[in-house]
Amino acid sequence: MALEATRNMAIMKAREARFDFLCLTENDVLIKETTFTTMVKTMTQHKVKLLSPWYDQSRIVPADSSISYRLAMPNYAKGQGVQPVDWAVRSLVMWDCQAFDLLGETPYVDLFVYGVEEYHGMMFRREGVQWYVDTDEAVQLLRGPTPAWEFDFSQVRMPGNLTPEQAKAESAMYRGWTEQMKEQAGSGDVKTGQKGP
């Protein structure tokens, strides 16, 4: 069964059972015993409906490396508290199930949509649900989210450890680029394979 379909099934079951929270995690994430309860407490305290942890890449990126995987937009440094993001990889994500009610009968994500993290972030944002990362709650990744042969690493890797001010600037740049791409798409000027900043 397609991965997105299994996610949709979990979400439908959670909605039918009227769960308060739903957390989906992949099998290459090492979590602590307290990860889930900490995330629920954070979501309740900060009134957050969509939350990811901070991803520790130390097992997959050499310690002396100046680059890291792009796991969120923007990538924050650890220890910056709860910060807004445009999207994050879905290695581990938790929702307040009320967020799904805002979407009506729309599925979590359409199948075969490329770049689903960004798509899903935009889908929730248009309903007033901001995605956040808790940079104080770290989980370890055992592998990178994207095989190296699928993407140009200059696009999927970036300097990490941004401060909130740097992250806001990067997020503004990214959103500006995506708006520019939308305008070009509307005028038919987008060329296949065009790369971002």
pLDDT (tens digit per residue) in 38-47: 999 999 999 9
Residue written as tokens 């939308």? 182
Is the pLDDT at 79 greater than 90? The verdict is yes
Q: What is the pLDDT of residues 3-40, one digit of tens each?
A: 777 888 888 889 889 999 999 998 889 999 999 999 99
157 pLDDT tier (thresholds 50, 70, 90): very low
Report the sign of the C-alpha dihedral through residues 102, 107, 110, 116, in that order: positive
190 pLDDT tier (thresholds 50, 70, 90): very low
Measured CA to CA, the distance from residue 190 to residue 92 in angstroms comes to 33
Measured CA to CA, the distance from residue 181 to residue 186 in angstroms comes to 9
The residue among 181, 156, 139 whose CA lies nearest residue 73 is 156
Compute and round to an integer the Cα radius of gyration of the chain: 17
* Range scoring the smallest mean pLDDT among 127-131, 140-144, 151-155: 151-155
The residue among 65, 34, 40, 70 whose CA lies nearest residue 55 is 70
Tell me how far the alpha carbon of residue 91 is from its chain's centroid: 8
179-192 mean pLDDT: 44
Q: Could you state, in order of their start, the residue ranges of all structural domains in the chain? A: 3-187
pLDDT attached to residue 193: 33
Mean of all residue pLDDT scores within the chain = 76
Are residues 93 and 23 in contact, defined by beta-carbon separation less than 8 angstroms? yes
The architecture that CATH gives domain 3-187 is Alpha-Beta Complex (3.90)
Cis peptide, bond prior to residue 74, ω within 30 of zero: yes
At a CB cut-off of 8 Å and minimum separation 6, what does 125 contact? 86, 131
Measured CA to CA, the distance from residue 128 to residue 102 in angstroms comes to 9
Query: Buried b / exposed e across 145-166, counting CB within 10 Å, b at 16+?
Result: beeeeeeeeeeebbebebeeee
